[in-house]
C-alpha cells in the first residue's frame, strides 16, 4: 500500500510540474547561458525529460532566431514574465 501511495504522490507532482510548463506556453522568457549570453524569446515547450526548451523569436546578441531548441544544460538561469 505504501508503494502505491508514493507512486500516486509522484504522479500528482509530475502532472502539476508538466501543467506548469503548459501554462507558460507563449510567455516571454529571459535566460542566461554558461557561455555568457543573455537572450530573450517566447517559451513554446519543453521535452519530456526537461533537457531541451523550444523557444521562438529568440533575441540573441547576433540577431533574431525564429525557432530555437536550447539545451537546459547550457542555461544558468531563466525567468518568465507572467504579465
Residue 63 has pLDDT above 90, yes or no: yes
- Torsion sign (Cα): 52, 35, 32, 44: negative
Query: What's the total number of domains in the chain?
Result: 1
As a whole number of angstroms, the distance between CA 71 and CA 52 comes to 4
pLDDT reported for residue 3: 87
pLDDT reported for residue 39: 97
Instruction: Calculate mean pLDDT across residues 68-76.
Output: 97
As a whole number of angstroms, the distance between CA 8 and CA 51 comes to 24
Show the domain range for 56.
2-80
CATH code, domain with 8: 2.30.30.100
Q: Which comes out higher in pLDDT, residue 82 or 67?
A: 67
Residue 83 has pLDDT above 80, yes or no: no
pLDDT reported for residue 28: 97
- How far does Cα 65 stand from its chain's mean position? 17
Residue 9 has pLDDT above 90, yes or no: yes
pTM, rounded to two decimals = 0.82
Amino acid at each position: 500500500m505504501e508503494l502505491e501511495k508514493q507512486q500516486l504522490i509522484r504522479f500528482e507532482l509530475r502532472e502539476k510540474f508538466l501543467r506548469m510548463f503548459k501554462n507558460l506556453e507563449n510567455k516571454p522568457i529571459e535566460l542566461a547561458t554558461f557561455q555568457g549570453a543573455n537572450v530573450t524569446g517566447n517559451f513554446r515547450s519543453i521535452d519530456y525529460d526537461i533537457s531541451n526548451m523550444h523557444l521562438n523569436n529568440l533575441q540573441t546578441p547576433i540577431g533574431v532566431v525564429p525557432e530555437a531548441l536550447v539545451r537546459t544544460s547550457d542555461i544558468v538561469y531563466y525567468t518568465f514574465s507572467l504579465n
